[in-house]
Amino acid sequence: MKKNIVKIGILGIFTGLINGLFGSGGGTLLVPGMIFLLGIEGHKAHATTISIILPLAIVSTYIYYKSGIMSLNITLKVAIGGVLGGYVGAKLLNKIPNSILRKIFAIFMMVAAFRMVF
């Protein structure tokens, strides 16, 4: 149990650091971290990650807003679409088999990495 607490703490600190530095990306660390380090099933890891990202996003948003480096106009417009997409995605999560979910997530991460490099 103590070993798991250390893993959870390190995963949380690293996720918060990445989220704070890049404005997102915590989920790309949390999902594999929960699956491979903590042994959590894929669907539960994805759903739990969303709940963890919310407080991280609130803290980062506050700091970005106070620093004047955030566009509130764009944020509100994209958030409206994001709420709709989040609802649909959450409904779909339980309908997708874990093996397919892992492949979709891996492809998404590879495409995102490729786009960041090139």
**In contact, 74 and 64? CB cutoff 8 Å:** no
**In contact, 16 and 56? CB cutoff 8 Å:** yes
User: Torsion angle, CA of 87/9/14/81, rounded to 10 degrees?
Assistant: 10
Residue type, 29: L
| Structural domain spans, the chain | 2-117
21-65 per-position pLDDT tens digit: 876 677 788 899 999 999 999 889 988 998 888 888 888 889 889
90-104 per-position pLDDT tens digit: 899 889 998 998 899
DSSP single-letter state for residue 34: I
Q: Against a cut of 0.85, is the pTM above it? A: no
The pLDDT of residue 67: 94
Enter the tokens of residue 74. Answer: 């764009």
Q: How confident is the model at residue 1 (pLDDT cuts 50, 70, 90)?
A: low
Residue type, 107: I
Each as own residue / partner, the long-range contacts of residues 86-90 (CB below 8 Å, 24 or more positions apart, any chain) are: 86/50, 90/47, 90/50
